Amino acid sequence: MPTITDVRTILTAPEGINLIVVKVETDQEGLYGLGCATFAYREHAVKSVVDDYLKPLLLKRDVHKIEDLWHLMHNNAYWRNGGITNNAISGVDMALWDIKGKLAGLPVYELLGGKSREAVPYYRHVNGNTLDEIVEKIETLQKEGINHFRLQWGLYGGIAKNLNTPPNSEPGIYFSPSQYMQDTIKMFEHVRKHFGDSIELIHDIHERLSPSDAVFLAKRLEKHRLFFLEDPFPIEQVAWLEQLRNHSAIPVAIGELFNNPLEWTPLIKERLIDFIRVHISQIGGFTPARKLAVFAEQFGIRTAWHGPGDVSPVGHAANVHLSLNAHNFGILEWWDFPDILYKVFPGLPQVKNGYIHANDKPGFGIDIDETLAKKYPIKKTVTQWTQTRLPDGTLVNP
């Protein structure tokens, strides 16, 4: 049986976003796997867990024992869960699934039971500084066969206008909740008036409102028939989902900050959400994500895995394989990858006429050009976009 001979991290930023890929090598010549461990804002901490702790733990282990190795990695430090540890585990876990597929000579989705659909529909982000710009971007994407759009007027929190902040306020990204709510309502009214009900619309509050404001906005947006409203509450305030259910029938998606099953289990069992959209490396990789998809299916909850630019192409490929298989698939978030990422990560799934198509290569069907990846080193910077503040300077969730 093949055994693990090396586990190492590859850090690269071809698009300017720090990505972390784990490569697991074996004693069988030419056999290796790739996994996503991307925590773009704590990349060196993840690298240390992989290189300094998981590698010595895993050397000479049997690559076939994915389930056992996942629990070994999860329990080995005793204190469990959290973004740094889970992402490190994910990198190895995905790589082992990639190896499993290569050994079987099958794409990973076949190992899960095969396809439920031939290709995966996806949504794209539409941001703009004006309503006309938003409409124009939707019309452009429609020509590519896309029918699902996540709308933001000026990104998260909207566009701040004429804010009165106290002198000597701390630097940050300031926004006005009331301005943001009113602008968002106007945006959906404008878009629905222009397009009618012919397209599917999504919006991401991104946790930035107080719970009562989020309920108010959900009620006002309900008439515009959203495909889903994302992250109306921060993870610490998910008890408010019951209040939202009592006041609005708007579909809710949540989960990108979740770390462990205790965070999603009650929401799914009580049917307080409609879509689960975890960042699969954040919960520990492919192994827990496939279990989550099956669990959610029992309660009529659909999947909508987190898929922004701070998921590596390897992670996106894993999202696609899960989405091809899961009967309870809902929609997939997809990034507008520049050409350089297709060169650094050959085999990255392709898009055509509004659908994502995985190739039929064994494993996840994606590779990495390490020589080219080295030409795009990661950047050591202080994360700015999470420094979000109210007009009076109070820090709020990003």
Domains and CATH numbers, the chain: 4-106 (3.30.390.10), 110-362+384-396 (3.20.20.120)
Q: How does pLDDT run across 246-269, given as a tens digit for each residue?
A: 999 999 999 999 999 999 999 999
**pLDDT averaged over the chain?**
97
- Active-site positions? 156, 206
What pLDDT digit, counting tens, does each position of 112-153 carry? 999 999 999 999 999 999 999 999 999 999 999 999 999 999
Identity of residue 129? N
Task: Using alpha carbons, select from 245, 285, 228, 265 the residue that is nearest to residue 36.
Answer: 285
Q: How high is the pLDDT of residue 32? A: 98
Q: 383-389 long-range contacts, Cβ below 8 Å, gap at least 24?
A: 383/41, 384/173, 385/173, 386/41, 387/171, 387/172, 387/173, 388/156, 388/157, 388/172, 388/173, 388/174, 388/175, 388/208, 389/169, 389/170, 389/172, 389/173, 389/174, 389/175
Average pLDDT over residues 87-97: 98
Whole-number Å distance between alpha carbons of 383 and 238: 26
Instruction: State yes or no: pLDDT of 239 exceeds 90.
Output: yes
Helices (H), 105-237: 108-111, 131-142, 177-195, 211-221
Segment 230-236 shows an average pLDDT of: 96
pLDDT at 88: 98
What integer pLDDT is reported at residue 36 of this predicted model? 98
For 113-136, give the secondary structure using H, E and C. Answer: CCCCCCCEEEEEEEEECCHHHHHH
Residue 91 has pLDDT above 90, yes or no: yes
Smallest CA-to-CA distance from 232 within 224, 328, 247, 223 is with 247
* Backbone torsions φ then ψ of 187, nearest 5 degrees: -60, -45
Query: pLDDT band at 393, cuts 50/70/90?
Result: very high
pLDDT at residue 71 is higher than 90: yes
Q: Which two tokens stand for residue 286?
A: 């492919």
Contacts of 371 (CB under 8 A, 6+ apart): none
Give φ, ψ of 195 to 5 degrees. Answer: -105, -10
pLDDT digits (tens, 9 = 90+) for 324-356: 999 999 999 999 999 999 999 999 999 999 999
What is the rounded CA–CA span in Å between residue 144 and residue 230?
Answer: 24
Q: In this model, does residue 323 exceed pLDDT 90? A: yes
Residues shown for the chain:
398
CA angle 45–48–51, rounded 5-degree value? 150
pTM of the model: 0.97
Q: What is the pLDDT of residue 1?
A: 86
Q: Tell me the pLDDT band of 380, cut-offs 50, 70 and 90.
A: confident
Residue 212 burial class via C-beta count within 10 angstroms: exposed 0-12, middle 13-18, buried 19 and up = exposed
- For the chain, give percent helix, strand, coil, nearest 5: 40, 20, 45
Q: State pLDDT tens for residues 155-186.
A: 899 999 999 999 999 999 999 999 999 999 99
